[in-house]
Structures are given as structure tokens and as C-alpha cells.
Chains A and B, each alone.
Chain A
Amino acid sequence: MDFIPHDNKTVSEMLDVIGVKSLQELFQDIPNDLRLDKLNLPSGLSEPDLVQQIEKISQKNKIYSSSFLGAGCYYHYIPSLVDSITSRSEFYTSYTPYQAEASQGYLQAIYEYQTIISRLTQMDVANASMYDGSTALAEAAIMSTIITGKKTVILLKGIHPEYEDVVRTYCWGRNVCVETASEEILKEKLNSDVAAILFQSPNFFGDIEDSLKIVKNLREKNSNCMIIQVMTDPTCLGILNPPGSTDIDIFVAEGQSFGLNPSFGGPGLGIFTAKQKYLRKIPGRLIGKTKEINGDQYGFILTLQAREQHIRREKASSNICTNQALCSLAALIYLLSLGRTGLKEIASQNVQKAHYLKMRLSKIPGYEIINKKPTYNEFLVKCPNIDALCNLCKQRDLQPPLKISSYFPEMKNIALVCVTEMNSKDSINSFIEAATLALNNEAEEI
């Protein structure tokens, strides 16, 4: 099938208007030896055949009834409102709202998104979105080097390993040096060439860092260095102190938890916020409120575009153009649907359910909780036989937790377990049963 509305008669009428005899003639600038006869691709499909063929591919993936896997992508309940509104095709088939007067609806929605993110994080400004949490963090690192004129960033232990990789790639591009440090040895590494310290909280291993303490220690040592926090599941902000209540310069997060399906890891949402004083160095789009030139109504418009690539070209703070607008809209609707009460309850349930499993596991001989700090909805547990545990989970239709050795080979037999509001008591108990049985099972026998 194709989606072309012309019949042959229309095509010839149009060719007549143009004054050429054939469609081929329209490509006269293309040298003969570059013209392709035919693509070596299969013939097109009708809609039912297409759906059937792709559905078959999707069935090769496994869907579990309950999941204990997180590590940067989370299963949270998505209110039906989210899909209902983001499926309005005025929204999803529109372009970046360059013509403000014809795009007031979407512009207002993104302005409301910026507002709700500022309120949630208590940061001064939020942009319209970045690609995802990892690129938001990388751009934050680059932004800190542009602001400070310094060429080193330090990553604290506990940043999502894939995020760390992305930061390294971006920094290598801009010839920025990346170092890593644990909190203990950080002070030794802090020198006058450091543009920023990056840390994750709750971190990749589940620990909730005491941001206030980290910030205070850093400020004592080096007051010029910027502090950047990243978070992969911001539902925790329903109960945890917002980054804006500390002295964080830039706060970024992955917003997938706010109303987006896991969808094999994308599209997600890069949440990007900063202090007011960095406004003109922020990457990405910003929606501002303004007034009519000759009138009293207010309206919304893309603003501070002089920061952006289409105006400043190579002098822009970033090359980002297309962002994740529709995902911002989803996040806005998600947060509005839950409201203050709902978001607080969701966050509480995540903590309480994860705590329940954590306590139960710690009582099974052979299992040991690794985290010394408080945790949100993820924690590390050392297992007597992690392969047996994962296989027994699968037998119970439970998606097993992450074997942390897949990122850190030296951390053998340790699982990163995630529990959200979606895990029922039954599924948690079933997990505990699997953990108990795994004591007596050799992985090979299953």
C-alpha cells in the first residue's frame, strides 16, 4: 500500500501544469549513472498483512505477569488519560510549534510541563525536554564546561553505567576529561580545573544519597565547581527532598516513569532543569509566556532561541533540535492524573513494597542486602545462586532482577531488585518462594 492520494489522471494533469512530459523528467539533474532502477526490497503489504507480520515478530518477545527488573527503566501504572490525550492527532502529528499563534494549545501544554517539573523538582527552570536521561546528563556535563571554562568533570560512583558511557562519549567529542571517584576520595581529586561533579541519587545500586551533605562538603572544598544530580526514576520525588532544596546547579532525570511504556528503552524523556543564572546556557527548547504585540491576551512562544543551533549554528550551546515533546506531554498528564495525593502514595508504595521484600529476603539464610544507605524501590542483594533464582522466577512468570555482573563482572551473584506499586503481594511472595527454593537448586538442573 502507499499513502499517495493522486490517481494517474491527476499526475498527468500536474505534469502538464509543470510543463514536463514524465515524472522521470523531473529528475533531469541527476546524472544517468546515479539513477536507480529499482530497490531490491519486497513488495508492499496491505494493512492486515502488515499487522499480522509484525505482530508475529512482537510475539518473539516475552511478556511477564510481574517484573523485578528496573535499572533505569521501570514498570509503573499508566493512567488511561495519558494515552487518550497523547493519541489526539492534533498533538502527535504536529511539528515543533514554530508558528506560535497556530500552535497555542501545544505551547501551553509544554509551558505547563515546564511549570509542573519546576514545582516537582523545585528547580528554577526546566526546558521542554532532552532525548533521555543519559543524554541529558551528558549535555549537563558539557554545559558545565562551557559555563566554567574548565575541562574536567568528575563522576561519583553509582551513576548508571550506560549513562556514564554516554557522558564519556560526549566529553571525548568536546575534548573534556572524565574522571571517576568515590565520595571518600573525591576531595583529593577536586582541583581548580574541575567544571562539575556528577552524581546519581537514588543511585544505580539503589542508595539514596544525602544530597545535602554531598553539596555541603563539595562547596566547602571548591565553591566554583558545579554540582549535577541525575535520577532514573523520579517518582521518588513524591516523597523525597527535591533537588532544588539543596544547592544543586543542574538536575536531570529520565522521565520514562511518568507515563511512558518501557518500549525496549525508548522513547523516554530527558528532564533537564537548572538554576536561573544558567538560563542562557541551557540546551534545548524553552517555551515562554508573552503578550500580544497589539493586545492584552497572553500567549506562549518558543523563546531564547538565540541559544539554539538554527540561529547560532556552531556557537550554540548544543546541537539538539528535535526533542521528545510528546513524551513531555505524557509526563504532564501523568503527573496531573496522579496529583499530589497520588504521586505521594505511589512513591510511598514503592518504598514500602521494596522494603517488605528487602526485609523478607534478608531473613533467608544466604541472602545478604548490600546497601548500607536507605533505598527507594531498588536494592542490591547477594544471592547464594543467582542463576537458580532467575530461572525459578521465570518459571513463576516473574521477570527476574538484573544480574549486576552484566555491567560489573566483578560483582558476582548480586541482583539489583526493583519493586514498584505494580508488584502485588502475591508476586512478591512468589519471588520470596523462588529465592528460598534457589537455596537448594543447582542452576543446571532447572
Chain B
Amino acid sequence: MSFNIPLIFDKENENIQQNFVPKMDIDITELNEILPENLLRKELPIPNIPEIEIIRHFIKLSNRTYGVDTGIYPLGSCTMKYNPKVNETIVKLPGFAHIHPLQEENQGCLELIYHISKLLGEITGMDGFTLQPAAGAHGELAGLLIIKKFFESKGIKKQKIIVPDSAHGTNPASAKMAGFSIIELISNEFGEVPLDELEFVMQEGDVAGIMLTNPNTLGVFDKQIKEITRIVHENEGLCYYDGANLNPMLGICRPRDMGFDIVHLNLHKTFSTPHGGGGPGSGPIGVVNELIPFLPKPCLISTKKGIICKNNDDKSIGRIKAFWGNFGVIIRAYAYILALGAEGLKKVGQIAVLNANYLRILLQQNYFLPYNRICQHEFVLSDQGLPNDVSTEDIAKRILDYGIYAPTIYFPLIVPGALMIEPTETEPKSSLDYFVEVMNKIFEEAKKNPELLKNAPHKTPVKRLDAVLAARKPILHD
């Protein structure tokens, strides 16, 4: 018996009534009197489907989708924290939802963008912010273009960027999009940047800077961070902070104080806006004073007449997106920061780290922890030494059978068979304990009945899917 849900296109019913078109209230001129026949399409292969069929179809699909509201979502580097419901209410206020990006009476929107840029400035220590980037990777691109423009404006040619091997994949890809070539730095045995190597590479002279995340993707805070940024600065480079891992640093330590010149944040990670199944996100970037003129357009300033747009046409990298960024996401993050305030944000950092270390201590009893030390927001296990050649993928698929979501797998690349775990601060102890219980049970299963893992999952609507077939013979629509 198949448990597949038929595609919605099967529910076609040609003759149903149409509910969503206003009654035409002007005298109709026939289309072919307005537009030449050759511009008009002959067929429109979109189905007519009764409303009840649509809603039932998508409720069924939602039942086969797992969100933070379903249970623990321990995806490392993704910061799957609770998405406050009040933010969903606020974003739907007509005074935001119905505002056109080109309308004149927009002080509310501009004030909100201006104000959150100040709040983010305090949180990160940065002097200026732009809310234009639509996602983290988009922020990275903007940040790297700023680095490019900065050196161009000084007449200095610098074409390389240092990216450690532990970096998120977006880092090297973004650097490439900004026209840089990449120097990969191999992390030392503590998962940190090797200082000698860094100094050597920087002295070559053609290096525009470094992209780092701290804590890094192993969840380790690099103690030598001030040394690192000093070395880069002394060799006339800039330091870029990948803010994907900012959550444990909230109210604890600021990227600017570590010595960074540019930082991007993921509002959809650290600042609680929903991931939406992959987006939309928002990836604002903050910079030090010297780099403010290079920020993308449009830029806002505060005047006696209110917040106004003032662009720096000489130096700005230009536009990176139409209009004003993902404003709906920005509103939610703004509400989150106001709700938590100074104390709340600090507690976020503290409890995110508490939860991660709690899991780390309990899980290392059965699983190999290559970097065994106090971690920050996340830590990384490996499938090394698991009984009966059970792999990371097997573990992840078996976790799904227990009704929870699996961690990030096979990332970071520097840990073979990585299971990267980030619980976030909003996870109750009971669900952390359940996760540990599940992981320990799976370890026992690996010893006694490895086939159970290798064929997992068993209880999901479909069994393990053939990813190779999907890529070899791509079927991307019906």
C-alpha cells in the first residue's frame, strides 16, 4: 500500500466557481481590442481546484513537515530556536504589511530600520549597519564587495581572501562572487587558526583579509582571536565576521571587540525569525566607521525632519537588492530585541551554551567527541568507532524514527562523519533529556541490531530515499 499523497494537480475540477476575482465594475473592452492577438497565450495549464481540496491537501502536507513547533531541531549552525508568535502578529499589522516600498509616507518603516540598525550596532559593537541583504550569504557577498571597494578606492590591488577549512560553505562561494581567490587555512589540533601560518600567508601582501566565525563551526571559541585580528590588521587586511554563530555571544562578547571590521548577522538564526522551510531570511551587515561610506544603497540618516535616505554614490558598492531588504523579517527581529532587552539577550547567550554543554557531556559517553573541551553554542560528534560500521547517515535516519529531527550531518568537513549539534536556549531540559535517551538507545541498537539503523527510517511516510537516482535522472516537475 502506498502512503504517498497524490499531487495537488490530480484534484482538478474544471467547472468550479471562482471566488477570488472582484466583480468587474467597468464597461469591458474585449482583450483582443486592447492587445494584439499574437501576444496572447493560447493555453494556460493551471488547474481549477475546489478550495476544500486545496486546504486539505496542504494540511496533509503540513502533517508531514517538522518544525521547531513540533520538537527539538538540533541542526548545528542553524540556531533553530523558538519563533515567538507575537512577532507573527506584529508583522501582519496593516501599517507594515500594506506599505509600498516607493511610497512617500513611510516614516514608520524607515524609523524601524534605522532603530534596529542602532540596536544591532550596540549588540555587535559596529558603527554602521545596512539591513539590505536578504540572507546570510547575501550579507557575506555585500561584506566582501565592501572589502573589494575599500581597497579599490585606495588604489591597492588585493585579490585573495583567507578562509579556514572549518568555515561555512557560503564563505568561499561568496568570496568567489566578489572576485577573490581563496586561501584555505588548515585548523590546528584545537580547531583554531594556526597563527604562524596566518602570519606567513598575510605577509605575501596580496591578501585582502580573513573570513572567520567565532565560535567556529566546532563550537570552539578561538582564544587567540585578538592575535588573529592584529596580525591581519598589521598586514593591511580586513577582518570579516561570519555571524552565523553569534547566538552564544549575545551580551557576552562582541565581534568589534574581537577586532572585526565587518560582521553579518542572520536574523533568521540569532534573532528568532522563522526559517520558513529555507527562507526568507535577512542578513544585515555591520561595519566600522571607516567602511560606512562603502555600504550598499539605500543608506539612512537621522535628521530634524526625520529619517531620510542619503546615498554615498562615490563609494557605495551600489545596490544589492531592490527596495529595502526583507522588511517583514526585519520587523520580527526588531520585536525580538525589544522583547528581550539587555538582560534577556545575555540570558540567551548563557543558556544556549549551557544547553549545548549539557548535551555534550551526556552524549560523549557513547559517541566520539573529537574536540573534547567546553563548547559554546554547538559541538561536533563523529561516527568514528561506532559498532558494526554504522555511519552518521544511519544515525541521523534512525533519529527520525523517534519523532525528532536529526542534527546537521557531514559538516564541518574537518570532522569525518560529523554530527553537529546545536540545541539553542529555548529547548526545555525534558526535550534535551529525550534527545540523549534516543541517542543512547540508537547506540545500543547499533551494537545489537545494526540493520535497524542501516535501513532506517522505518516510521516516516517514506523510507530512505534514493539521492543518487534523484541526481542522475532529475525529475524536477510533473
Contact = CB atoms under 8 A, between A and B. Distances in A.
> Is the A/B pair a real complex?
yes
A44 B344 contact: yes
5 contacts: A40-B122, A208-B39, A266-B134, A325-B276, A424-B22
B7 A108 contact: yes
A53 B24 contact: no
Given A98-B408, A162-B319, A336 B8 contact: yes
A173 interface: yes
B321 A132 contact: yes
Interface string A221-265: 000000000000000011111100100000000100000011111
Given A72-B323, A109-B58, A173-B141, A352 B26 contact: yes
Contacts of B140: 319
Contacts of A115: 7, 9, 477-478
A323 B135 contact: yes
Contacts of A314: 172-173, 175-176, 181-182
A47 B339 contact: yes
Contact of A44 (B95, B331, B338): B338
Contacts of B321: 131-132, 134-135, 166, 266
A304 B474 contact: yes
Given A106-B277, A118-B477, A310-B411, A263 B96 contact: yes
B148 A239 contact: no
Contact of B31 (A6, A28, A348): A348
Contact of A374 (B39, B112, B134, B476): B39
A322 B279 contact: yes
A77 interface: yes
Given A57-B111, A89-B69, A101-B400, A23 B179 contact: no
B380 interface: no
A298 to B, nearest CB: 6
Interface in B441-478: 455, 457, 460-467, 469-471, 474-478
A115 B283 CA distance: 29
Interface residues of B, number: 204
Given A39-B123, A264-B106, A339-B48, A294 B460 contact: no
A148 interface: no
B188 interface: no
Contacts of B353: 23, 26-27
Interface stretch (B195-203, B219-227, B231-239, B284-292): B219-227
B324 A266 contact: yes
Contacts of B26: 352-353, 356, 425, 428
A67 B100 CA distance: 9
Contacts of B337: 41
Given A6-B351, A61-B99, A103-B66, A309 B278 contact: no
B20 A342 contact: yes
A267 interface: yes
A185 interface: no
Interface string B114-150: 0000010011000000000011111011001100100
B145 A169 contact: yes
Contacts of A11: 351, 354
Contacts of B228: none
Nearest to B406: A99
Contacts of A71: 102
A297 B111 CA distance: 52
Nearest to B269: A322
A301 B318 CA distance: 37
Interface string A181-208: 0000000000000000000000000001
Interface in B47-75: 47-49, 51, 54-55, 58-70, 73, 75
Nearest to B251: A39
Interface string A330-343: 00010111111111
B253 interface: yes
Central interface residue in A30, A125, A134, by most chain B CB within 10 Å: A30
Q: State the 9 A-B residue pairs at the shortest beta-carbon distance, nearest first.
A: A265-B323, A58-B95, A265-B101, A44-B341, A326-B276, A105-B64, A93-B67, A325-B278, A62-B105
A10 to B, nearest CB: 5
Given A26-B374, A77-B22, A351-B31, A90 B66 contact: yes
Contacts of A4: 347-348, 351, 425-426
Contacts of A106: 61, 64-65, 277
Contacts of A292: 462-466
Contacts of A261: 97-98, 328
Given A38-B346, A50-B339, A266 B326 contact: yes
Nearest to A116: B46
B25 interface: yes
A349 B22 contact: yes
Contacts of A96: 275, 277-278
Nearest to B80: A95
B262 to A, nearest CB: 15
Contact of A266 (B48, B81, B254, B328): B328
Contacts of A296: 2
Contacts of A316: 169, 173, 176
A101 to B, nearest CB: 4
A265 B107 CA distance: 15
A353 B23 CA distance: 12
A25 B376 CA distance: 11
A3 B358 contact: no
B173 A313 contact: yes
B388 interface: no
A72 B327 CA distance: 15
Interface residues of A, number: 202
Given A169-B296, A421-B22, A101 B474 contact: no
Interface string A5-45: 11000110111011110010111111100111011111111
A438 interface: no
A107 B122 CA distance: 39
A101 B62 contact: no
Contacts of A240: 35, 39-41
B315 to A, nearest CB: 13
Contact of B178 (A72, A112, A173): A173
A325 B389 CA distance: 36
Interface in A131-164: 131-135, 142, 160, 162-163
The residue among A119, A295, A314, A428 with the most chain B CB atoms within 10 A of its own CB is A314
A34 B221 CA distance: 12
A198 to B, nearest CB: 15
Interface string B11-43: 000001011111011111101001110111100
Interface string A74-109: 010101010111011111111111111111111011
A25 B427 CA distance: 21
A50 B92 CA distance: 14
Contacts of B425: 3-4
A54 B335 contact: yes
A173 B175 CA distance: 9
B320 interface: yes
Contacts of B41: 237, 239-242, 245
Contacts of B406: 99, 102
Interface in A267-299: 267-268, 279, 285-299
B162 to A, nearest CB: 13
Interface string B189-212: 000000000000000000000000
B89 A326 contact: no
A352 B34 CA distance: 8
Nearest to A338: B20
A264 B324 contact: yes
A264 B99 contact: yes
B20 A303 contact: no
User: Interface centre among A119, A263, A267, A323, by most B CB within 10 Å?
Assistant: A263
Given A10-B429, A266-B325, A322 B172 contact: no
Name the residue in B51, B82, B277 with the highest tally of chain A Cβ atoms < 10 Å from its Cβ.
B277
Nearest to B259: A34
Contact of A173 (B22, B27, B99, B179): B179
